[in-house]
Structure 1
Amino acid sequence: MSERMKCKVCGYIYTAEKGETRKNVEPNTLWEDVPERFVCPSCGAAKRMFIAID
């Protein structure tokens, strides 16, 4: 699993393997399974502001 998503606002990278414990997203959580209420832990941007990266 190497899914990565980048915040278009600040450049924060969400990596599925790591999840985001600051936002209660467990490691190995695919982006599609991240709750819609998720916001960027760095700048507060909405989930819809993220784009897939290689």
Structure 2
Amino acid sequence: MAEAYKTWQCRTCGYLYDERAGDPDEGLAPGTRWADIPADWICPLCGTAKAEFDMVEI
């Protein structure tokens, strides 16, 4: 059984990354898992590092 998609939130600005939706404007196709995003990726809204995101339940 596939793991459920998760949502990750930027601690600085609140930007939400939803694995199910991805972020096509940032080159992240729908279904792109958080673990598959490069470690040097930054928030597209404020530039915060990926390490400063938290998984959230919505």
TM-score, scaled relative to structure 1 = 0.88
Is 1:8 matched up with 2:11? yes
CA distance in 1, matches of 2:41, 2:22: 12
List structure 1 runs of 4+ shifted beyond 3 angstroms.
none
- Percent identity between matched residues is 33
Range that drifts further, 2-11 or 19-28 = 19-28
Separation in 2 of the partners of 1:25 and 1:36?
A: 14
- TM-score (norm: length of structure 2): 0.83
Which of these residues, 40, 43, 46, is aligned with residue 40 of structure 1?
A: 43
2:24 to 21, 42, 48: 21
* Structure with larger Rg: 2
Q: How many residues align?
A: 54
Specify every segment of 5 or more residues in structure 2 that has no aligned partner in the other structure, as ranges. Answer: none
